[in-house]
Structure 1
Amino acid sequence: MKDFVLLHICCGPCSLYPLKTLKKESIKVKGFFYNPNIHPYQEFKLRIAALKEVEKIENLEIIWDETYGLRIFLDEISFQWERPKRCECCYYLRLKRTIELAEKLRAEAFTTTLLYSPFQFHDLIKEIGEELSYLYKVPFFYQDWRGGYKEGKEIAIELGIYRQKYCGCIFSEEERFSSKKKTPLFQIPKNSL
């Protein structure tokens, strides 16, 4: 076994249950924060602050990329605004960066806290992780942490860790507040012709 598993961390609350289970299995973990999808800027800063609290509480080493990545994210999704396609692009962006770092650091494997959320496309995350693992020859440590979602949420509440109300991207923020079906941008309504 090499030194550690590199854990891509999307946010503080989502890291708590995976970290608990990894510690229970005596797996050494280094965290990696890389989330150019998180918007707006104030939300990005709140999530960094929440994860820094977890970093202290868990005595966890985290490698930080605190670059606000609006342009990177929008370039990556390339007009794929609807779910699940935009999510696929976003997962690939973050996991590719994670595995590149895992390879550079000679980590035993890589994984992600995205596997914890019941609101994400779990099978798609697993598929991307396995594909990147094949390409980069770094094992993907797959774990279905969704069963601990309620427990992780309770831990976050008990610790007073900021809990976000949407996945992070600007489109998910819009979906949070709007229940109406959206008209794709650049589409001319039929009744206006």
Structure 2
Amino acid sequence: MKLLLHACCGPCACYPAEKLLVDGKAFDILYFNPNIHPYKEFKRRLNALRELCEKKRYKLIVDKSYPLETCVQGMLDEPVIRCAYCYRVRMRYAAQYAKENGYDAFSTTLLVSPYQKHELIIQMAEEAGKEFDIPFYYEDFCKGYQRGVDISLELELYRQPYCGCVFSERDRYEKKPKVKLD
């Protein structure tokens, strides 16, 4: 089986790539993340993934397009489920790319993070797989989260402090008023 592995960043790709190799699965890594804000952060995460792929000799496919306006508008149109929109855009792109380029299945490194909404990622990926007639390969990469952290620290990869979108950046750094308890 030849797998296309969508990657959001270098650190999140560490464990899934290692696990796939150990399991004898052939894969290429795809970077497509128009949700990442600001643009400097988009580039920084891409560079960390490039660094991982160079050090480990993984094949990396990069879509350098940055349709931020479209992505942000989509998230504004679906404020309650903006994560669903974001996952859908990336999983649809990965599924379509995998189908058009002869892969047998696709997956994503988003599944390594305990901070992501796994059921929603799986739902969006399975819908994309059906739409483009290509299987979504599910594996619970989250159990290797700490191993991925260790690899990324060992390789001195840039580790980001938020998921990537402008809303998660705000939520991460916004100063919340302290609630006084009586």
TM over 0.5: yes
Q: Deviation at 1:41?
A: 1.2
Q: Which 5+ residue runs of structure 2 have no aligned equivalent?
A: 178-182
Instruction: Tell me which moved more, 39-48 or 10-19.
Output: 39-48
- Name 2:146's counterpart in structure 1: 150
- Name 2:70's counterpart in structure 1: 72
Paired residue type of 1:13: P
Whether the 8 Å CA contact 1:15–1:113 is kept in 2: the answer is: yes
Spell out the pairing of 1:110-149 with structure 2 (5 A cutoff). Answer: 110-149=106-145
| Number of residues of Structure 1 aligned to a counterpart in Structure 2 | 177
Instruction: Tell me which moved more, 52-61 or 131-140.
Output: 131-140
- Name 2:100's counterpart in structure 1: 104
Q: Aligned with 2:77: secondary structure?
A: coil
Spell out the pairing of 1:82-93 with structure 2 (5 A cutoff). Answer: 82=80, 85-93=81-89
Paired residue type of 1:177: Y
Instruction: Tell me which moved more, 31-40 or 57-66.
Output: 57-66
Q: Which 5+ residue runs of structure 1 have no aligned equivalent?
A: 182-193
Aligned partners of 1:79 and 1:137: how far apart in 2? 27
Matched, 1:44 2:13: no
Aligned partners of 1:76 and 1:59: how far apart in 2? 35
Q: Aligned with 1:14: secondary structure?
A: helix
Moved over 2 A (4+): 78-82
Paired residue type of 1:18: P
Aligned partners of 1:78 and 1:97: how far apart in 2? 20
Q: Aligned with 2:51: secondary structure?
A: helix
- Name 1:29's counterpart in structure 2: 27
Aligned partners of 1:8 and 1:179: how far apart in 2? 33
- Name 2:180's counterpart in structure 1: none
Q: Deviation at 1:179?
A: 5.0
Q: Deviation at 1:129?
A: 1.3
Paired residue type of 1:7: L
Matched, 1:19 2:17: yes
Normalising by structure 1, what TM-score? Answer: 0.88
- Percent sequence identity is 41
Q: Aligned with 2:36: secondary structure?
A: coil
Q: Deviation at 1:151?
A: 1.1
Q: Deviation at 1:135?
A: 2.2
Whether the 8 Å CA contact 1:35–1:69 is kept in 2: the answer is: no
Normalising by structure 2, what TM-score? Answer: 0.93
Q: Deviation at 1:60?
A: 1.0
Q: Aligned with 2:106: secondary structure?
A: strand
- Name 1:176's counterpart in structure 2: 172
